[in-house]
Amino acid sequence: MRALALTPDGPVVRDQPLATRTGEATIRTVVAGVCATDLELVRGYMGFDGVLGHEWVGVVEDAPDPAWIGRRVVGDINAACGECATCAAGRPTHCPQRTVLGIQDRDGAFAERLSLPLRNLHSVPEGVPDEAAVFVEPLAAACEILQQIHVRPTDRVVVLGVGRLGQLCARVLALTGARVDAISRNPGRLELLPPGIGRGTLDEADALAGADLVVDCTGNPEGLALATKLVRPRGTLVLKTTTHDLGTLSPIPWILDEITLVGSRCGPFAPALRMLASGTVDPTDLISAEYALDDGLAALDRAARRDTVKVLLRP
Amino acid sequence: MRALALTPDGPVVRDQPLATRTGEATIRTVVAGVCATDLELVRGYMGFDGVLGHEWVGVVEDAPDPAWIGRRVVGDINAACGECATCAAGRPTHCPQRTVLGIQDRDGAFAERLSLPLRNLHSVPEGVPDEAAVFVEPLAAACEILQQIHVRPTDRVVVLGVGRLGQLCARVLALTGARVDAISRNPGRLELLPPGIGRGTLDEADALAGADLVVDCTGNPEGLALATKLVRPRGTLVLKTTTHDLGTLSPIPWILDEITLVGSRCGPFAPALRMLASGTVDPTDLISAEYALDDGLAALDRAARRDTVKVLLRP
């Protein structure tokens, strides 16, 4: 099959067999999305070697339980062992033995087919188009914020950075009824925010000081420093950025102001699918371009451009 | 009156008048305690200039409401404005206009008398000796952890550093029923821990990895790095150290493991007084030495020694 793989010499589109695993389902990829993490992996973050891609929607071609064959599905990217203490404690996304689709020891979705355990799969409701379902993984990551902390309808929330993930975080947080303001140095991205979400440039951020909750989706070292400046005493900072280098900070301001910092990563798929099915979050306006898998290298280049939000790949 | 004051040339014991403030109570200091923060202030942290001391018990000599005169009291060290948005939101210890007894723009308790607003004062229950009541401020700071986060009886807790504050944190956390292990590089301090609290040296810390909650009371930059190593995925780190320099750290491990960090400072006096009154916490075994106020400089030297826990000062 055709696949966009990361090799020690960089990304290539090539022919390679599907690495099937015993007892797993084989899924035909319908469409996949390029994430900032993919770009980080290409830069050498995690030292990954294999097929990239962890945002996708597909159709089950083969499965240990034949009831799944033919279903349109999305899937949790963390394949946990299911047997260790961390899994037993209900934290499979932190299983120390886990493999991660397209990120760690497991070939990903930028290919004609992929393999995942059945327990990772979720059926996509009929009314959700492929171009929305492909956003379920980052939308689940945005839902993880609500899974971790209690956002009150009277809270004032600031989202820093409204690229791929920040857009989804701002939209999910706005569902709580809280006042949400988004800050970006990219005016074009601010324009993509739906009505009801405040927007400002970096120069305007200081006016938002005293926020109950600040979510850093910037992916750069300055984001957390600015977030620390904008949050109120005893407020909460959510760190929503995974990148190879966020610099270092002194913890002293967090102690003096009794700030709570919450690291936040992968989230639950079921609520994300419900939001897509109900239409309360519609991410399809974030699609900047679509490429054929054979043009995968051009797709990666396009995804790295500042005027781009989401790039889709279609095998 | 006699007072141990910090001047631009260092600490001195001298005669000076009490800086009374309109509408406040005047309190005769009975006994005061030396805190790590006092030692930090002497090293130049916060640039404080004035009478040191914020741990104390005293007797009200004069007050706007005469009912208070003669009462034995302790007092919240943060004197808030009571009028700003932060005070109105119920966070007076974070009032941006606040003065702080012996720490910021307000003379402290290492003197024959001190001044505080009546609303800061708490009567000390009769059965609590002065030598226990003088611990109420750091004991309240230990209670602040329980005020901020939910510690479950089935949790496994690690306290790093068992100096003045760490001892109290370990004792308060053990009241929850959780398993508490304390780590110190000072074996003498570990011996002071009451039965039921586990103890280990730095070399033994790795065996405690996977803790639900780790409280850093070390006051040094290595503490938070070790805490990050010992906490489980989705666990909580409490930063209980106020010092002038904690170095800098990368936030990336907190994101990958979805750690919650909680900065923690001053706490509620009422529960601390109840713990002293009921005897569930008895801090008097932490007293290493007592000095007359006139020997205040020797007391500061003694408090800085590694074999010392709490030093008391008596005017």
> What is the tens place of the pLDDT at every residue in A38-71?
999 999 877 899 999 999 999 999 999 999 999 9
| ipTM of the shown complex | 0.83
The answer to whether B263 contacts A247, with C-beta atoms less than 8 Å apart, is: no
Residue A45, φ and ψ in degrees, nearest 5: -60, 130
A141 by Cβ neighbours in 10 Å (0-12 / 13-18 / 19+) ranks as buried
Q: What percent of chain A has pLDDT over 70?
A: 99
Cα A134 to Cα A48, A76, A80, A131, A142, distances in angstroms: 22, 12, 22, 6, 14
Cβ neighbours of A148 in B, within 8 Å: 258, 260
CB atoms within 10 A of CB B159: 36
- Condensed to tens digits (0 to 9), the pLDDT of residues B154-178 reads 999 999 999 989 999 999 999 888 9
Length of chain B: 315
Given a cut of 90, is residue B75 above it in pLDDT? Answer: yes
Q: Return the pLDDT at A29.
A: 98
- Condensed to tens digits (0 to 9), the pLDDT of residues B20-72 reads 888 999 999 999 999 999 999 999 877 899 999 999 999 999 999 999 999 99
Whole-number average pLDDT of chain B: 94
Q: Return the pLDDT at A132.
A: 98
Q: Hey, is the C-beta of B264 within 8 angstroms of any chain A C-beta?
A: yes
Convert chain B into a string of H (helix), E (strand) and C (coil): CEEEEEECCEEEEEECCCCCCCCEEEEEEEEEEECHHHHHHHCCHHHCCEECCCEEEEEEEECCCHHHCCCEEEECCEECCCCCHHHHCCCHHHCCCCEECCCECCCCCCECEEEEEHHHEEECCCCCCHHHHCCHHHHHHHHHHHHHCCCCCCCEEEEECCCHHHHHHHHHHHCCCCEEEEECCCHHHHHCCCCCCEEECHHHHHHHCCEEEEEECCCCHHHHHHHHHHEEEEEEEEECCCCCCCCCECCHHHHHCCCEEEECCCCCHHHHHHHHHHCCCCHHHHEEEEEEHHHHHHHHHHHCCCCCCEEEEEC
Query: For the CA atoms of chain A, what is the radius of gyration?
Result: 19
- How far apart CA B219 and CA B161 sit, in angstroms, is 8
Q: Return the pLDDT at A246.
A: 79
Q: Return the pLDDT at B47.
A: 85
Given a cut of 80, is residue B310 above it in pLDDT? Answer: yes
Average pLDDT over residues A187-203: 93
Q: Which H/E stretch holds residue A222?
A: helix A221-230
Q: Return the pLDDT at B123.
A: 97
Q: Which of B169, B191, B174, B215 is nearest to B285 (CA)?
A: B191
Given a cut of 90, is residue B293 above it in pLDDT? Answer: yes
Among partner residues A224, A240, A257, which is closest to B263 by beta-carbon distance?
A: A257
Whole-number average pLDDT of chain A: 94
Q: Hey, is the C-beta of A46 within 8 angstroms of any chain B C-beta?
A: no
The answer to whether A94 contacts B233, with C-beta atoms less than 8 Å apart, is: yes
Six token digits for residue B232: 């489980």
- Condensed to tens digits (0 to 9), the pLDDT of residues A114-159 reads 999 999 999 999 999 999 999 999 999 999 999 999 999 999 999 9
Q: Which of B152, B258, B155 is nearest to A268 (CA)?
A: B258
Q: What percent of chain A has pLDDT over 90?
A: 87
pTM of the model: 0.89
CB atoms within 10 A of CB A146: 17
Given a cut of 90, is residue B307 above it in pLDDT? Answer: no
Please report the DSSP string for A86-115 in residue order: HHHTT-GGG-TT-EETTTBSS--SSBSEEE
Given a cut of 80, is residue A314 above it in pLDDT? Answer: yes
Q: Return the pLDDT at B306.
A: 87
Please report how many Cα atoms fall inside a 13 Å half-sphere around the Cα of residue B149, on the Cβ side.
29
Given a cut of 80, is residue B87 above it in pLDDT? Answer: yes
- Condensed to tens digits (0 to 9), the pLDDT of residues B101-146 reads 999 999 999 999 999 999 999 999 999 999 999 999 999 999 999 9
Cβ neighbours of A264 in B, within 8 Å: 255, 258
Average pLDDT over residues A168-195: 93
Q: Return the pLDDT at A255.
A: 93
A-interface mutation test, from B260, B264, B265, B266, most A Cβ less than 10 A away: B260
Residue B99, φ and ψ in degrees, nearest 5: -105, 155
- How far apart CA A149 and CA A151 sit, in angstroms, is 6
Given a cut of 90, is residue A242 above it in pLDDT? Answer: no
Average pLDDT over residues A103-108: 96
A153 by Cβ neighbours in 10 Å (0-12 / 13-18 / 19+) ranks as exposed
Q: pLDDT band for position A107 (50/70/90)?
A: very high
- Condensed to tens digits (0 to 9), the pLDDT of residues B222-281 reads 999 999 999 999 999 999 986 777 788 889 899 999 999 999 999 999 999 999 998 899
The answer to whether B255 contacts A265, with C-beta atoms less than 8 Å apart, is: yes
